[in-house]
Structure 1
Amino acid sequence: MEKELLYQKFNHVFDSDLIDQINKIGSINTFLKDDIIIDIDQTLQYIPLLLSGSIKILREDSEGNELLIYFLKAGETCTMSLTCCMGISKSKIRAVAEKDSSLIMIPVQKMQAWFHNNESWQNFILESYQTRFEEMLEAIDNLAFMKMDERLYKYLINKVKLHKSNTIIVKHQDIAEDLHTSRVVISRLLKQFENENKIKLSRNKIEVL
C-alpha cells in the first residue's frame, strides 16, 4: 500500500526512472501520532519523503521549550534535514508526527548523487528549499509582528487546511507548546474566539466556524 502511495504522491514530481529507484532502495517507516521521527542532535543517515499523514517541525530553546516552525504534508520532505545531510551535521530540529504517518527513507548518499544527475530530483529539492524558506520567514514575521491572538487564529486555520477538516482534535496544552506560550493564555483566547463566534469548543476538540 505504501509503495502505491509513492506513485500517487510523487508521480507528478519525479520522472519514472527516479520513482523506480526510490521504490527499490527506499525503506518504509510508519509512525504513530506524537512519535518523534527526527530528533535534535541526531545524525541523519536517511532522507524522509512523507507518503501519508502530517509532521510538525519544531525548534527547541536552551530550556527545552519547543516552538513550531512549520508543518509537512504528504508529498513533501523536510529541507532542514536535507541541509544537515548535505553538510554532514547533526539535526537542528525535531520532527514529530502530527498524526499517524508513513514515510519512505532514502539513503543520504543517493540524495547527493541524484541532485547532480537527475533534473526532477534537483527541481524538487530546490522548490522544497524555497517553500520552507518562505515558511521560515512567515514564522519569523508571526513572532515579530503578530499578537498572540492573531498567531493562534492563524494556527487554527493552518490546522484546518492541513487536515482538510473544520474540526481539530487538539489539547489546549499542545497548542500552547506549539506556540511557545502558556495553556492559560491559549484557553483564554480560545474562549474569546468562541464568544466572537469564530470557533466552537468542546473537550479536546475545536470546530472552526
Structure 2
Amino acid sequence: MTAPDTRIPSDDQLADLLPFWTDICPANRDELARHARVRRFAAGDMVQGCGYGCTGVIFLRSGSLRAFMMSDQGKEITLFRVEAGECCVLAASCVLPQITFDLALSAERDSELIAIDPACFGRLAEREVHIEAFTYRQALERFSDCMWVMQQVLFMSFDRRLAVFLLDELARTGSPTLAITHDQIARHLGSAREVVTRMLRYFASEGLIALSRGRIEVVDRAGLRALV
C-alpha cells in the first residue's frame, strides 16, 4: 500500500471540496481543518474496511474509489463508485451509527483524497445544521445507489445485470472498449467468474460484444439496451 500522506489541506482545498465550508462558523472551520488530512492511494490499494480500519469521512480530490461489500466467503459486490469531487459518508459508520453494515473502499485509479476524522465530523454535524443536512443527503443518495444494486440482484436475470453493467461502464469511461477482466466483472456483480465468462461468450456469439484478453469491445450498444 502507498505510504500515507499526512499533509494538512489548505483552506482553499477544503473550500473547493466541502459544499458547506463557507456556511459554517470560523471556529468550526478551524477545528475541521485541524482534523483533516490529505491522503494518496495507488490503484488497487485498500482505502478502508476489510481490516484496514476507518480512514474517515472521505472527500475525493482525484481518481476513483470503489465501494463494495464482502461476504465471509470472500465474495464481493460493488455498491457504487466515488468519483472526483464526491464524498462518501456511508463508510464512516461512527458518523451515522444507524449504518451497521461494513462498507469497504478501494482505489480503482491513483487517487488523492481529504479524510476528516469521523469523531470530529460527527461533533461538528451536531453543531452545524449545514453539515448535518449534507451528511444525511449524502447518506440518502448512496443508500439509493445500494437499493438499485439490491433491486438488480433480487429481480433481474444475470444477462440483464451484465448488460446494465457494460452500459454503465461505457457511460463512465466514454470508450467502447473496456479494459476489464472477467474476474473483475465477477467481483463487481457478486458472481462467479465462470458465470461471467459464459454470459460474455453468449453476448459475443450474438454479436453484441467482441472479446480479447483483458478487454471487451461493445459493438452493438443498441442490442445491449434491448436486453435491459
Task: State the TM-score, normalized to the length of structure 2.
Answer: 0.76
SS at match of 1:81: coil
TM-score norm. by structure 1 comes to 0.82
Q: 1:45 to 1:70 in 2, by over 3 A?
A: closer
The 3 A distance-change label for structure 1 pair 41 and 146 is same
Further displaced range: 177-186 or 79-88:
79-88
Residue 64 (1) aligns with residue 74 (2):
yes
Letter in 1 for 2:22: S
Q: Does 1:189 align with 2:199?
A: yes
CA distance in 2, matches of 1:127, 1:74: 18
1:15 is aligned to 21
The one-letter code matched in structure 1 to 2:162 is L
Between Structure 1 and Structure 2, the one with more helix by share is: 1
Alpha carbons of 1:122 and 1:190: their partners in 2 closer, same or farther (altered >3 Å)?
A: same
- Whole-angstrom distance in 1 between the partners of 2:34 and 2:89: 23
Q: In the TM superposition, what is the alpha-carbon distance from 1:30 to its structure 2 partner?
A: 1.1
Higher mean alpha-carbon deviation, 195-204 vs 16-25, is at: 16-25
Q: Which residue of 2 aligns with 1:144?
A: 154
CA offset at residue 175 of structure 1? 0.8
Q: Distance in 2 between matches of 1:17 and 1:132?
A: 23
Matched residue, 1:128? 138
Whether contact under 8 Å (1:170, 1:205) holds in the other structure is yes
What pairs up with 1:84-95 in 2 under 5 angstroms? 84-87=94-97, 92-95=102-105
Whichever residue aligns with residue 30 of structure 1, its letter is R
Structure 2 residue ranges without an equivalent (≥5)? 1-8, 222-228
> Is this contact kept in 1: 2:58–2:89, CA < 8 A?
no
State the shift of 1:49 in Å: 1.3
Residue 135 of structure 1, CA deviation: 1.1
Give the Cα separation in 2 of the matches to 1:88 and 1:138. Answer: 20
State percent identity of aligned pairs. Answer: 25
Q: CA deviation at 1:143?
A: 0.8
| More deviation, 149-158/189-198 | 189-198
* Unpaired stretches in structure 1, ≥5 consecutive residues: none
Could you tell me whether the CA contact under 8 Å between 2:15 and 2:22 is conserved in 1? no
**C-alpha root-mean-square deviation of aligned residues, in Å?**
2.9
Change (3 A) 1:43 1:176: closer
- The 1:119–1:158 alpha-carbon spacing in structure 2 relative to 1, beyond 3 Å, is farther
